[in-house]
Structure 1
Amino acid sequence: MYSEHRGWLHGWLRKKLGCSHCAADLAHEAFIRVLLLAEPHTIKEPRAFLATTAVRLLIDGARRRRIEKAYMHALVIQCEDAGMPDPAAVHVALQALERIAEMLAGLPAKTREAFLFSRLDGLTYSEIATCLDVSPSTVKNYISTALVHCYHSLHVTDSLS
Structure 2
Amino acid sequence: MHDFPVADRTSARRQQTLTTLYSDHHAWLHGWLRKKLGCSQHAADLAHDAFVRVLLLADPQNIKEPRAFLATTAGRLLIDGARRRKIERAYMEALAIQSQEAGMPDPAAIHVALQTLERIALMLAGLPEKVREAFLLSRLDGLTYSEIATQLQVSPSTVKNYISHALVHCYHTLHGADPL
- Return the TM-score normalized by structure 2: 0.86
Give the counterpart letter for 2:53 in structure 1. R
- Determine if the alignment matches structure 1 residue 82 to structure 2 residue 102: yes
> What residue ranges of structure 1 are gaps of 5+ in the alignment?
none
Q: What is the match of residue 71 of structure 1? A: 91
Q: What is the match of residue 125 of structure 1? A: 145
Which of 111, 126, 132 lines up with 1:106 in the alignment?
A: 126
CA displacement at 1:146 relative to structure 2? 0.4
- Determine if the alignment matches structure 1 residue 33 to structure 2 residue 53: yes
Which of 159, 170, 173 lines up with 1:139 in the alignment?
A: 159
Give the counterpart letter for 1:137 in structure 2. S
CA distance in 2, matches of 1:134, 1:122: 18
Aligned length, in residue pairs: 157
Give the counterpart letter for 1:80 in structure 2. Q
CA displacement at 1:38 relative to structure 2? 1.5
- CA deviations on 1:110-140 (whole Å, 9 max, x unpaired) are 0000000000000011110111111111111
CA displacement at 1:41 relative to structure 2? 1.4
CA distance in 1, matches of 2:146, 2:24: 38
CA displacement at 1:37 relative to structure 2? 1.2
- Which stretch shifts more, 31-40 or 117-126? 31-40
Identity %: 80
**Following superposition of structure 1 onto structure 2, how do residues 35-50 of structure 1 map, counting pairs within 5 Å?**
35-50=55-70
TM superposition outliers: structure 1 runs of 4+ over 6 Å: none
CA distance in 2, matches of 1:48, 1:130: 21
Give the counterpart letter for 1:120 in structure 2. L
Give the counterpart letter for 1:14 in structure 2. R
> What residue ranges of structure 2 are gaps of 5+ in the alignment?
1-20
- CA deviations on 1:42-95 (whole Å, 9 max, x unpaired) are 111111111011010000000000100110000000000000000000000000
Q: Radius of gyration: which is bigger? A: 2
- Return the TM-score normalized by structure 1: 0.96
- Determine if the alignment matches structure 1 residue 19 to structure 2 residue 39: yes
